[in-house]
Copies of this chain bind each other. A is one copy, B any other.
């Protein structure tokens, strides 16, 4: 018999662990999480030494400054990572919740009950803290995890995964509940995302190219978002200073994230008055403006937008601005060019607000607020495993509840059909 591959063996072990995890009480899980936090603190020096090795190798291998920064697990990040575990301990455990229950005329009692998903694969890039953040959220929701980080962070990730598993086991973490893929070759990812029947869900976290590669190979369900091309539409009746503040915030507060605004659409009736106000503020904040001909007519500093500008996620201080004749035109544009992530209308008109909320087909639709609020913490979920622009299972920010599924318990007294 040929030797089983590392990945297949991990999948089988994870499935076994997932059945053991499903039996743990919330109290027990919190005790284990405390032990994990303690162990990470106890091994801080050892883990940071492993991280230093990754950073040094990365520098030798020519990683750029931004990548080296993401890789580094400095004191502040380490403490914040451990504090994240304490935050998760405080969150309500969704497993076991009865979602709904009813009794059929024949006396059968049906209980739709929240249960863990099972085995979750997390595929991510260079930030080593994702190893802990993801494993801890999956564990709190009683899921087994198979983690696969970037190869440039392998020493950090090995030290973190070992500390979590060994620390947790002191208080009863089932063996193999948290596993890290040890090989760093690409084929391991492909094998992992094809383990039908063993891996129940894969969540890729990283740039669009990583996610596309995962989706292309996957046979198991994947929840993800490719990118965030977020829009703000300024309606013909809106609070102009408020609108400028919101767009400024959505563009400049943190331009490199998926919920920052990339496109602004303005109603033609207010373009002449509003666009110069907006341009003043954004140019002062060093934002490069690109515009369609109507927008450029009111913003002398704007560069003419190319057709592809409407479909590009800049993740930078660049904004494309267009003029539309109506809220309907804005909605149509957003449904065609958007990424179904987060889109906003700024308006004081009830009819426009209602239409926009109903017809924009995005995970999160805003009225009179910045798109930057699409985030697990900002939504009050406590923590976030990711954001989904998919339509099935979970949409928008995903917290603990989105790491669960349900099963039906049917309680009878001898009923036959």
Contact = CB atoms under 8 A, between A and B. Distances in A.
Interface of A: 19, 22-23, 102, 104, 108, 110, 115, 117-118, 200-201, 215, 219, 221, 223, 239, 242, 245-246, 248-250, 253, 335, 357-359, 361-370, 372-374, 378-380, 390-393, 395-396, 405-417
Contact of A369 (B118, B390, B412): B412
Given A365-B408, A392-B393, A410-B365, A370 B415 contact: yes
A411 B406 CA distance: 30
A366 B410 contact: yes
A379 B109 CA distance: 10
A412 B366 contact: yes
A369 B414 contact: yes
B246 A392 contact: no
Contacts of A364: 407-410
A373 B407 contact: no
A358 B373 CA distance: 37
A44 to B, nearest CB: 31
A219 B115 CA distance: 27
Nearest to A246: B416
By Cβ-Cβ distance, the 6 closest A-B pairs, closest first, are A369-B412, A249-B416, A393-B393, A372-B417, A242-B414, A392-B393
Contacts of A367: 409-412
B221 A357 contact: no
A362 B417 contact: no
A416 B357 contact: no
Contacts of A201: 391-392
Contacts of A215: 219
A313 to B, nearest CB: 16
10 contacts: A108-B373, A110-B379, A249-B417, A365-B407, A366-B411, A366-B412, A367-B412, A369-B413, A369-B414, A370-B415
Contacts of A110: 379-380
A417 B361 contact: no
Contacts of A396: 407-408
A361 B245 CA distance: 51
Contact of A253 (B380, B393, B406, B416): B416
B390 A221 contact: yes
Given A368-B411, A405-B391, A19 B335 contact: yes
Contact of A417 (B359, B378, B411): B378
B239 A414 contact: yes
A104 B362 contact: no
A412 B359 contact: no
B407 A363 contact: yes
A117 B395 CA distance: 11
Contact of A392 (B221, B245, B365, B412): B221
B361 A391 contact: no
A221 to B, nearest CB: 5
A226 to B, nearest CB: 10
Given A200-B392, A370-B417, A380 B412 contact: no
